[in-house]
Structure 1
């Protein structure tokens, strides 16, 4: 118990204590006393100004209301964002409410008896702390007030995000099967879909290149073969020419057989039948390629659409429960689109912050009370008495030290005198022993002289 709780201020004039209004008043044992205990009111001092009991009882009720609001705020936050079950939610909310109650109680109790210029300095820091705590407590309640609109905004935002993700997948994975190598598609490529039509298109391009190279070759060799066949027929029919290359003799003569043999040798060496077969196959393959490519595109498009849908569904599963940050972002988007939402959001937030700051603000706005004056006087008196107590203890300790020092000096003096007497007795004994030794030595010398004589 503090010094303030232990002492009661007694006025200088005691003649008025036995006449109305009686001072100190009878102790209050009702519910108001328990409310005032929350904010650290000393009932012994308040009994001298009982008219201020209702003020401080209501201030205690405001502190309890603020703590209850904090408990509700945390309950709303945990219930909405984390889906915490009720059996866990209630004790956690009560614990948080108790923490806020303790802190607000300290904020108010620490201002009792603060007077003069220091009053504003003391309240400034406490109001700042109250504003910070109020902002934290108010945010879940603001989100709760706009919960239906926020939830719809979150769901719409998720749908838009999924739609944009699906669009990016389609852009980076076209049904043509071509690989898009842009940096934004690095993490969006789908490589596990078989039957890409891009390979058929590439093959079609290569086939056309081969055909374009083969067609002139076949045409040239057909022309040469046709010339040799014509020459052989003319030779066998007996035709002649001015250059003399034809003999002009009809029938299957030597030149006729030689001409057909030359034609046949060219046909074998030129591989014209093989080239014509390859060209026919190429033309058939090229002509059938559009149909195969279309069929491949249809099958690939079906498989690719399924793969994109699977990717989209996997991303959708990662969203899970709507979190606190998602709700905050959704409310910000709503406020950006609507001035009414922006105004309502900030009005509600400011109101809740002010409610959370009410304990400190109420004490500040109530001004200087008689109870504060009595607490200040008792605190000053307690400090003065304590200083007197410390001074008395200091003087007692100094006196005790002086007595102890005198006792030590007395004991030292007695001990010194005892030591001095003992030294004198020892010196006398040593001198007597020395005299005795000298006499014995002199006697021995005399005996020695007499013997020698």
Structure 2
């Protein structure tokens, strides 16, 4: 049987007042300081979010307002995070905005959890180690602030950004239309050699063939007309010479006989003129020029009609390509807004300064839970928590020592009991053995005496 060696520690020695002396009401004096707990729902929840223990805070009620507001800062940061994500998702995801609310609430709760951990894990931190504890928490808070602040910055500059994005899209559309117009002229000219026209060619059959044919016929007519005028001028000179020879008239630069009449020289001069006209076929040349004029006129009419039709076809094709180009824009999302804000910042120093001031302000506000805890310094509550932690550690060590000694004492008592029982068993065995020996010895003696 194991002996019970538990000790009643409910009344430590030295706590009873000495005999003959009045008992001092230490308990009443010890618990006079704690104030009644603040049971206001909002205040209590705000402090619980950042891990404040009301039992310790009751000893320093002056700190309640500080930690209540610190808890509200954490709540406000979570609300800003939820609004920021809601603003971002409504610009990225093409779904009704009520469907985005659960995701925004989840993000807000996540930020609330992280901020609550960062603040609550710093309670009781004192001395130089306090700052080393806050450095990683502050970095995390700034990173969260950057993520949260960007959508809010875009939301604040929303009107100007949207105007800039629409204006930029109009400029891009105008440039695209200009390229298609340049690379597809209505006259059907070939622009494939231009570098900027490699990706802006419409596969349409233009009036270039007819235009080239008209140009070729026009060149032929011009050449034939010049030759006809030259030959006609020579024929006229020869006819004038023959007429002067027949009339006996003297002409400048010519040689005539100046003898009037239809003589041999007159007939010879007319024969030369007629032979020249027959050899060069001036009437045929004139008919050919007239035929070319008719062909050119007919093709020019066809070219005018085809150019008008081709111009309409080109215009429709360009409109279709430009509409396809505009279709890639879609709804203005957060990326378009970010690029629009960047362009506005490049164009205006005021916008650049304003957007960075707003961004830094939002990051600071998002980092306020950790900043407020850092800038607030070591509070009375921190010192009490620190002492509570050290006392808890000490009591835990004493409790383990007590349990260890108690268990060791129990084991030692059990071992002693086992040793005692073993000794008693051996003694009883020895006694029984001695009695058996005596009994047999007596019986043997009796048998020998008989």
- What range is the shorter-chain TM-score in? 0.5 to 0.7
Give the drift of 1:377. 2.2
Q: 1:324 aligns with which of 334, 337, 340?
A: 334
User: For residues 15 and 325 of structure 1, do their structure 2 counterparts lie closer, same or farther at Cα, with a shift above 3 Å needed?
Assistant: farther
User: For residues 16 and 24 of structure 1, do their structure 2 counterparts lie closer, same or farther at Cα, with a shift above 3 Å needed?
Assistant: farther
Bigger drift between 151-160 and 290-299 goes to 290-299
Give the drift of 1:123. 1.2
Q: Which residue of 2 aligns with 1:85?
A: 96
TM-score, normalising length from structure 2?
Answer: 0.66
Q: Do residues 34 (structure 1) and 57 (structure 2) align?
A: no
Q: Where does 1:29-68 land on structure 2 (aligned, <5 Å)?
A: 29-31=39-41, 32-68=43-79
Q: Partners in 2 of 1:306 and 1:394 — Cα distance?
A: 95
User: For residues 15 and 154 of structure 1, do their structure 2 counterparts lie closer, same or farther at Cα, with a shift above 3 Å needed?
Assistant: farther
Q: Which residue of 2 aligns with 1:186?
A: 198
Bigger drift between 89-98 and 358-367 goes to 89-98
Give the drift of 1:111. 0.9
Bigger drift between 74-83 and 201-210 goes to 201-210
RMSD of equivalent CA atoms: 4.0
User: For residues 387 and 278 of structure 1, do their structure 2 counterparts lie closer, same or farther at Cα, with a shift above 3 Å needed?
Assistant: farther
TM-score, normalising length from structure 1?
Answer: 0.65
Q: Partners in 1 of 2:31 and 2:168 — Cα distance?
A: 69
Structure 1, unaligned stretches of length 5 or more? 1-12, 220-262, 408-453
Q: 2:105 aligns with which of 79, 94, 98?
A: 94
Q: Where does 1:10-409 land on structure 2 (aligned, <5 Å)?
A: 18-19=28-29, 22-31=32-41, 32-82=43-93, 84-181=95-192, 182-191=194-203, 193-194=204-205, 196-207=206-217, 281-387=291-397
User: For residues 386 and 201 of structure 1, do their structure 2 counterparts lie closer, same or farther at Cα, with a shift above 3 Å needed?
Assistant: farther
CA contact (8 A) 1:177 1:197 kept: yes
Q: Where does 1:407-422 land on structure 2 (aligned, <5 Å)?
A: none
User: For residues 17 and 324 of structure 1, do their structure 2 counterparts lie closer, same or farther at Cα, with a shift above 3 Å needed?
Assistant: farther
Structure 2, unaligned stretches of length 5 or more? 1-14, 16-23, 230-274, 419-450
Give the drift of 1:80. 4.2
What SS does the corresponding residue of 2:307 show, helix, strand or coil? helix
Matched residue pairs, number? Answer: 344
User: For residues 339 and 216 of structure 1, do their structure 2 counterparts lie closer, same or farther at Cα, with a shift above 3 Å needed?
Assistant: closer
Q: Partners in 1 of 2:32 and 2:151 — Cα distance?
A: 50
Q: Partners in 2 of 1:171 and 1:282 — Cα distance?
A: 33
Give the drift of 1:390. 6.1
Deviation track 1:286-330 (CA, whole Å, cap 9, x = no partner) reads 454444434332221122112111211222233221110111111
What SS does the corresponding residue of 2:28 show, helix, strand or coil? coil
